[in-house]
Structure 1
């Protein structure tokens, strides 16, 4: 039998003993620091429950339940707390807040060891990146931005009309709406980013297998967000570089990154200087001085962040429309009346203008309620308490503590949204003078201010907010003015998991033409 030399055995046992002592002592110190903050007992001693929650994909609901049980500040780990107070969330993210991003964000790197605007934790550099990127997201330098969105909206309409329409004489044709929503948002953001669509809608397929691979990537990525030390170790050791998708063209994500690099190469000369900027978002990034490394990272962030979250908003709102025929009919009636009054063009080969959509009060209420009912992000978005500590919800929180938020609790507050926060009710956003349920204008403004937190706040506000609303303002109108959607299985309408980002599939629907609109269009032609 092979045995270790005595000195090796002693050294090994010594190190093991020291590690156990270190772990026990550090756990006790961590427990004592935050023992005055309520929360489940086991979570105070170890991150295992927090990791397990992420692995199960039920963090969105679980965090909401913890807030409901323990209050607006809950301890969820040895050095983690979570809040549901909107005023605290604004304080964490305010432009001059001493709070900074915690190491929770390390997992948002798409290239090992290289930060992007999401993962970067240096506020000064973050501000520099935002200044370089902001003109592109505002649309000021892309005069065709709205027309580009119109183009992909019509691509989605054509896909449904040509392949998935069920008429009275046909056998029902089933369509998986969750995937089509992702095709739409991916094609839209790629067209806005570098003037070339992925063409997922045109070909009705997930080109490169990119969407499917990202859905596999996200659970692993967000699980490691609460184990940043492991990410740092694998990065420093070089092990993570072996899995870098940019260096492996077999990965779908690697193919997308290679395509992005080709687009960037075409705009720059061999010395990295501007050769042909263009009037798309990539062109704007180049004009405002992004380095080559920044371009590589930010265009990928743009494609990922700009497609997944908006797709979730479309899926959840369309699901609510199908589950609430009264609300759906009310929106359809508003759309039809807008067409009759000439507010919206009657031509079905044209798309509602953003300025027109903003004049439709019930549409705006539906969009707000859809975002509130199921916020597109569900992660902790954890910040770090400044070294002097802070008093939050009546508790002193020591410096260095990591504080996240529960999107579920934040947007399902009984105090703000009344006795039915789980119900999809667009009328809550409309004043009684508008035919809504709310008699208090100040209450509506307070709810709207709360909804703004879905897109972040202050120095961390999402730059893509205006583009997301541009898509939402158009897609619901153009789908519902043409088609009737019905769930195939109302008892099991979708499969949804939250790992920080929501992953959803299985929204099987049948789609029929709206007879009134079809007849109206035929009469005009």
Structure 2
């Protein structure tokens, strides 16, 4: 086991989305322990997961999370243990098995819409038609050719928009990345419960979310003292800070619109509004909006990226696609509805293996989420680290650990989930 003298992972690497691969390459070169910064150690061993991220180990999130704060600290980026416990109490019941299953009809509705749109495009493709420049689809050789990622984004945003805000963004129907964004989050906040219309613009929400993610991930690896200066003087960071404000404006506008048009509908927002902490107090407007924004972020690009990755790897591996198609064709269901229910697919073992393999090889978050060692220190893999040290375990790297996944961890192979040590996997 060896250590580099010091390796600097620049903010530009994070901004370009290559941090996971660079950290992985460093672990391959230097071993299990790699210093990412003077006080941040990356540990690429699955056994370290239960130590660094164990519930109740008293470790706290690092200042990396400060770069993700917008409107108000939410469940994801709060660094205060008492506040996290309070928020978790309010939010956790929303994701009980029963509540999640109650959301299923909404999910199936938009999957059905997407299939209908693709069917219409396919009919046009058979006639030799193609979309205009920028539409992202074309007809060629009796086939429909399209970029699946934008459509996966439209699907995820419409679903989470419906569940979180009571109405979809309408991206599937429009075939376009567009959503209402409040011009002024302050004015929108003040409009809660009033009938006057909000001042909004239609902006590309998916692009805003992507820009904000790149900005925050890059800002988070910078020393806190440097962040205000680079945001002020570097044009890329100035543009990123605009994306943060626009994303906040999107959530504020949607929540304000819902607040101005009360409904009896049960969804994520209504459950959050009904939530109470241990003192019986609900969340305030800013906190509520921040938590809804957290759900939007957590449920949109995560789902769209994973869905698109499934399509890509199935297309790249025809044998896997054929095997999965056979299992789906033989599954109980009805030909009247092309969208299967969870009850119909929950016991399909090969489908589960395909999904697990996608989440392994194409994790939505491949970086190691940093934790601060608490007072008294922490021992991991036989080594003790003093309090204040930042530790992380990189998902991208442990998902390619040959000791767990075998000699071919970079190969997409759902079959590996039926082989080897399942407990270790």
TM-score w.r.t. length of structure 1? 0.67
Please give the per-residue CA displacement for 1:25-44, whole angstroms capped at 9, x wherever unaligned. xxxxxxxxxxxx9433342x
Please give the per-residue CA displacement for 1:438-493, whole angstroms capped at 9, x wherever unaligned. 2x5xx12331xxxxxxxxxxxxxxxxxxxxxxxxxxxxxxxxxxxxxxxxxxxxxx
**Partner Cα distance (1:243, 1:167) in 2:** 38
**Partner Cα distance (1:138, 1:159) in 2:** 32
Shift of 1:254: 2.3
Q: Is the 8 A contact 2:156 2:304 kept in 1?
A: yes
Shift of 1:92: 1.9
TM alignment of 1:405-424, pairs within 5 A = 405-424=393-412
Q: Is the 8 A contact 1:142 1:280 kept in 2?
A: no
Other-structure match for 1:318:
311
Shift of 1:233: 5.0
TM-score w.r.t. length of structure 2? 0.81
Q: Is the 8 A contact 1:224 1:230 kept in 2?
A: no
Confirm or deny that 1:68 pairs with 2:62: no
Confirm or deny that 1:446 pairs with 2:404: no
Other-structure match for 2:323:
330
Shift of 1:363: 0.7
Find the partner of 1:283 among 270, 275, 289: 270
Shift of 1:365: 0.8
Please give the per-residue CA displacement for 1:352-380, whole angstroms capped at 9, x wherever unaligned. 11122111111111111111111111233
Please give the per-residue CA displacement for 1:112-135, whole angstroms capped at 9, x wherever unaligned. xx3111110112211111111122
Shift of 1:137: 2.4
Q: Is the 8 A contact 1:152 1:184 kept in 2?
A: yes
Confirm or deny that 1:225 pairs with 2:207: no
Confirm or deny that 1:201 pairs with 2:189: no
Q: Is the 8 A contact 1:133 1:285 kept in 2?
A: yes
Structure 2 vs 1, CA of residues 257 and 79 (structure 1 numbering), >3 Å: closer, same or farther? Answer: same
Other-structure match for 1:306:
299
Secondary structure of the residue aligned to 1:223 is helix
Other-structure match for 2:15:
55
Secondary structure of the residue aligned to 2:369 is coil
Q: Could you say what the CA RMSD is over the residues aligned between the two structures, in angstroms?
A: 2.8
Q: Is the 8 A contact 1:246 1:257 kept in 2?
A: no
Q: Is the 8 A contact 1:190 1:303 kept in 2?
A: yes
Secondary structure of the residue aligned to 1:403 is strand
Other-structure match for 1:371:
359
Structure 2 vs 1, CA of residues 81 and 265 (structure 1 numbering), >3 Å: closer, same or farther? Answer: farther
Confirm or deny that 1:178 pairs with 2:149: yes
Other-structure match for 2:95:
137
| Higher share of residues assigned helix | 1
**Partner Cα distance (2:11, 2:241) in 1:** 23
Q: Is the 8 A contact 1:246 1:258 kept in 2?
A: no
Q: Is the 8 A contact 2:48 2:393 kept in 1?
A: no
Shift of 1:253: 5.4
Higher Rg of the two aligned structures: 1
Structure 2 vs 1, CA of residues 262 and 169 (structure 1 numbering), >3 Å: closer, same or farther? Answer: closer
Other-structure match for 1:457:
none
Confirm or deny that 1:344 pairs with 2:344: no
**Partner Cα distance (2:90, 2:217) in 1:** 27
Shift of 1:195: 2.1
Find the partner of 2:349 among 340, 351, 361: 361
Shift of 1:174: 2.8
Structure 2 vs 1, CA of residues 242 and 337 (structure 1 numbering), >3 Å: closer, same or farther? Answer: closer
Structure 2 vs 1, CA of residues 142 and 265 (structure 1 numbering), >3 Å: closer, same or farther? Answer: farther
Structure 2 vs 1, CA of residues 277 and 385 (structure 1 numbering), >3 Å: closer, same or farther? Answer: farther
Other-structure match for 2:5:
41
Q: Is the 8 A contact 1:137 1:281 kept in 2?
A: no
Confirm or deny that 1:260 pairs with 2:265: no
Shift of 1:396: 2.9
Unaligned runs of 5+ in 2: 129-138, 179-202, 276-281
Find the partner of 2:67 among 107, 117, 121: 107
Secondary structure of the residue aligned to 1:422 is coil
Shift of 1:404: 1.7
Structure 2 vs 1, CA of residues 257 and 163 (structure 1 numbering), >3 Å: closer, same or farther? Answer: farther
TM alignment of 1:224-243, pairs within 5 A = 224-230=219-225
Structure 2 vs 1, CA of residues 40 and 196 (structure 1 numbering), >3 Å: closer, same or farther? Answer: same
Structure 2 vs 1, CA of residues 167 and 427 (structure 1 numbering), >3 Å: closer, same or farther? Answer: same
Other-structure match for 1:475:
none
Secondary structure of the residue aligned to 1:344 is coil
Q: Is the 8 A contact 2:367 2:395 kept in 1?
A: yes
Q: Is the 8 A contact 2:165 2:254 kept in 1?
A: no
Please give the per-residue CA displacement for 1:192-226, whole angstroms capped at 9, x wherever unaligned. 11220011001100012111122222222111111
Structure 2 vs 1, CA of residues 355 and 41 (structure 1 numbering), >3 Å: closer, same or farther? Answer: same
